[in-house]
A and B are shown apart, each in its own frame.
Chain A
Amino acid sequence: GESVGLHLPTLSVQEGDNSIINCAYSNSASDYFIWYKQESGKGPQFIIDIRSNMDKRQGQRVTVLLNKTVKHLSLQIAATQPGDSAVYFCAVPNQAGTALIFGKGTTLSVSS
């Protein structure tokens, strides 16, 4: 079945640095990718999404890059702030299109 994985379980950065969080997926037919942020004690919160017909999408301080050739997705956070400290997940639809499958999260720690 499909799988979604992340390269690094933890990432520590200094305030003001740029952060890059990576995700690999297995299903080449995936057409939709989403990044979620989960703060302590809360449910995941939508950050940004990208369709498979795009390579890049930008939001406010966040950019998602999609490389379909190597089935890799990344989330870039510019000028990382302490409030960005959270666990970040990528998610893709399952093959049946009935639910989102979450990758293993990356815990981002931002020190000031």
Chain B
Amino acid sequence: GEEVAQTPKHLVRGEGQKAKLYCAPIKGHSYVFWYQQVLKNEFKFLISFQNENVFDETGMPKERFSAKCLPNSPCSLEIQATKLEDSAVYFCASSQLGPTSIGYTFGSGTRLTVV
């Protein structure tokens, strides 16, 4: 399809529980990016993939966050032992042309609420 599909739209987890978010990039797009939006006007880059390979993971809090993009499966972002500060909207974007091209298409995000 021509949209980046993120599921679920909303996710509520108790502190310490696991959260798993999914992203289906646009078919034919080989780059996938995850961003975290905690405050309405701030985006934090987490990780990028080129196909199933990690391209840049410098933004990932590695002790609890992990991500995968496997062939023929939606990409996933997993947070082990969630903390209150993980509450945010997580956006996935995909691109055909590369990590710094104009061709980023964003999904509508998954709102994670940790209580």
Residues of chain A having any CB pair with chain B under 8 Å? 9, 32, 34, 41-46, 49, 87, 89, 93-94, 96-102, 104-107
Contact = CB atoms under 8 A, between A and B. Distances in A.
Contact of B41 (A42, A46, A49, A106): A106
Nearest to A94: B45
B112 interface: no
Contacts of A89: 41, 43
A105 B56 CA distance: 24
Contact of A99 (B40, B41, B99): B99
B106 interface: yes
Given A98-B55, A104-B42, A105-B42, A93 B100 contact: yes
A43 B99 contact: no
Interface residues of B, number: 23
Q: Which 6 A-B pairs have the closest CB atoms?
A: A43-B106, A105-B41, A98-B56, A93-B100, A102-B43, A99-B45
B25 interface: no
Contacts of A42: 106, 108-109
Contacts of B48: 98-99
11 contacts: A34-B102, A42-B108, A43-B108, A43-B109, A44-B43, A99-B33, A99-B59, A99-B100, A100-B104, A101-B45, A106-B41
A102 B91 CA distance: 13
Interface in B28-45: 33, 35, 40-43, 45
B7 to A, nearest CB: 14
Contacts of B35: 102
